[in-house]
Chain A
Amino acid sequence: MQTVANVVLLGSLYLLLATGFVLIYRGSRVMNLAYGDTMALGAYVILLVAMASHVNWTLAVLLALVIGVLIGAAMYWLFVRPVQDHPVYVPILVTIALGILIRTCISLVFTSQNRYLDEVLQIPKYSVSLAHLQINFIDAALVGTALAYLLVVALGLRRTSFGIRMEAVAENADLAALRGISPAGVLAPVWGIAMIGAVLAGFFIGVRTTVSPDIWLIGLKGLTPALVGGLSSFRGLVPGCLLVAATEVLTIQYIDPVLGEVAPFLVMLAVLWVRPWGLAGKPEQIARV
């Protein structure tokens, strides 16, 4: 029972990250490898807001979300937009370099020691007993937030005019621009919205465990379910996250912790071998050489 709970919790964390990751890829066809570092940045922004203003923790998180959205949009506008039409490796390298820069800045400001968000934020510890299971309030919030974020993003793309404009830009940026849609004007908010997932993931990691510049690796693991599910589809995300999280938790428990740490990457490699278009994608989505 505890194992199942662990899988669901880890899966929810990955869901937050993978949703933002897929959103960015779907909109701008860029794989954002700085995503793990932006997640760490989100956690540190919450820490900074909480230490500077002593506001209520919900307010601190909301404030950090706003800052995170601005950072995400700025990151796209300043760094990614100029290289979007360059060969495929250029945006990848740019996001890697940005990620390292974020990590350097964090470690220079906060040093690399571990921080505990739940102490700083003074989050109340509620828990409910339900059929032999202690359900922590924060854990329940994690699962709820992750599902809500996925639903809002996936439905928002289909139902709102902004979402339809984004799909138009993703399909063909030039044609969209001819129709009066500014591609950069659409994609900057998309990168901003994707930061919400990163900041929330950083928050939950910080509250449930610790914050250090090295949590970027957890964020990097968050991109594997996106590939397992099918890089540009939201439908495959929940099964993808559960599969990756289950493999990781079971490997740590029954085989070896070291192997468990890289289990997400092994699952990803296996899926890319057998079904490169992912669990929910379609073979046509992949252009073979």
Chain B
Amino acid sequence: MTSDAARPTRSAQGSRGRFLALWQAVWLIAVLAIIVAMPWIASAFWLGILRSCAIAVIGALALNILIGYTGQISLGHGGLMALGAFSAAYLTNTFDMPFVGVLIVASALGGIVGLIAGLPGVRLRGLYLAVTTLGVHFAVIAGATLYQSKVAMGTGFRIPSAALGPWQTGDGRVMYYVLMLFAAAVTVFTANLLRSRVGRAWIAVRDRDLAAEAMGVHAARTKVEAFVLTSALTALAGALLAYNQRFVSVEAFSFSLTIQYLAMVIIGGMASIPGSILGAFFITLLPPAIEWLVGVIPTPDTVSTQLFYVQEGLFAVLLLVFLYVEPRGLVGLWPRLRAIPSRLRKRGRLPAPMHP
């Protein structure tokens, strides 16, 4: 129950529990059917965006483990994704390593870099992990820039299409299923991990590290574990990103990528798996939606020429609004909406939103 502390419990609904479970099953099947049918519904453009969503889900879950469940913050998410993507570029271009091998090595590298870089910061209380990860971001980006300018004449690297033995994924549709499978696997893995001894230790350390230590949890080791797992999963997302784009270039991994992932976690919902998924889809779908809106609605010229800054500004506004008004994120809006009828009846006030 610890992981769901922010949400109302199912048992609170009493006898309707079974009925809801049936509806949940219906919902799950409907969502699965839509996901499976998507390649036949969506155009190539939107299918590409959905593939990005699947990768974003992995990255957002990884970051939520750190922020939501251990109360730490990483500002190096973009750098760690670059690490995964450039490992993929290096391994495929130099060793012709197959897809699965690349993913394993890239994740392992991410974990190792996370361990080396995070070890001093993760053990220190306060803001130090934020600054070390910021440093790691710039260090990785510099390394990637150097590698790119020396080996690829500054342009970038081509990545072969993902393949498992004889099965190729040259088609965008097949890659869509592959990425959705990875996103689903990481979701299930994270959900199960959070219910295990490891996940409960993270939450205990987040809530009160002294109390956790008194219960026999090694607080420092627990924090390092969480950061290593976050880094490994982020690097995995980066490697998948490389295979999805079939091209890796350092320009794609700026600090604003980190901000996008932070926005996914905060806007979607801290310490919530549905929140991470919701946030990943929301933030990935937002830029094309804005671009479309700017094309439809008449806007001043400066908005369309400065579109990048406008999009970033919108992320920032959303980030602030959610931090101040609804720190539980989009998933927190649902109980709030559901409370409206009873609130109207009672004319009482909602309890103030709390940080999980």
**Smallest beta-carbon distance B159→chain A, Å:** 23
Interface centre among B132, B135, B139 (most CB of A within 10 A): B135
1/0 per residue A245-272: CB within 8 Å of B?
A: 0000000000010110110011011001
**Smallest beta-carbon distance A248→chain B, Å:** 12
Contact status B73-A104, CB under 8 Å? no
1/0 per residue B119-153: CB within 8 Å of A?
A: 01111111110111011101101100110010000
Contact status B136-A276, CB under 8 Å? no
B319 in contact (CB, < 8 A): yes
Interface centre among A31, A87, A112 (most CB of B within 10 A): A87
Closest to A263 in B: B142
Closest to A31 in B: B127
B55 in contact (CB, < 8 A): no
Contact status B72-A268, CB under 8 Å? no
**Smallest beta-carbon distance B109→chain A, Å:** 17
Contact status B316-A98, CB under 8 Å? yes
Among B171-179, B307-315, B332-340, the one that faces the other chain is: B307-315
Complex CA–CA separation, A220 to B209 (angstroms): 31
Which chain B residues border A265 with CB–CB below 8 Å? 134-135, 138-139
Among B89-97, B186-194, B233-241, B298-306, the one that faces the other chain is: B298-306
Task: Out of B127, B131, B302, name the residue touching A108 (CB < 8 Å).
Answer: B302
A90 in contact (CB, < 8 A): yes
Complex CA–CA separation, A272 to B123 (angstroms): 11
Complex CA–CA separation, A286 to B131 (angstroms): 15
Contact status A100-B312, CB under 8 Å? yes
A184 in contact (CB, < 8 A): no
Complex CA–CA separation, A29 to B138 (angstroms): 24
Task: Out of B72, B120, B310, name the residue touching A273 (CB < 8 Å).
Answer: B120
| Contact status of A272 and B146, CB under 8 A, knowing A94-B320, A111-B305 | no
Residues of A80-114 whose CB lies within 8 A of B:
82-83, 86-90, 92-94, 96-98, 100-101, 103-105, 107-108, 111-112
Consensus secondary structure, chain B interface:
helix
What is the size, in residues, of chain B's interface with A at 8 Å between Cβ atoms? 52
Task: Out of A89, A266, A289, name the residue touching B125 (CB < 8 Å).
Answer: A289
B317 in contact (CB, < 8 A): yes
B85 in contact (CB, < 8 A): no
Task: Out of B146, B223, B266, name the residue touching A258 (CB < 8 Å).
Answer: B146
B323 in contact (CB, < 8 A): yes
Residues of B274-333 whose CB lies within 8 A of A:
302-303, 305-306, 309-310, 312-313, 315-317, 319-320, 323-324, 327
B259 in contact (CB, < 8 A): yes
B-binding residues in A (CB < 8 A): 29, 31, 33, 79, 82-83, 86-90, 92-94, 96-98, 100-101, 103-105, 107-108, 111-112, 213, 220, 223-224, 227, 256, 258-259, 261-262, 265-266, 268-269, 272-273, 276, 286-289
Give me 7 A-to-B residue pairs in the complex whose CB atoms sit less than 8 angstroms apart, sorted by A's number.
Answer: A89-B72, A92-B130, A213-B309, A265-B135, A265-B139, A289-B122, A289-B219
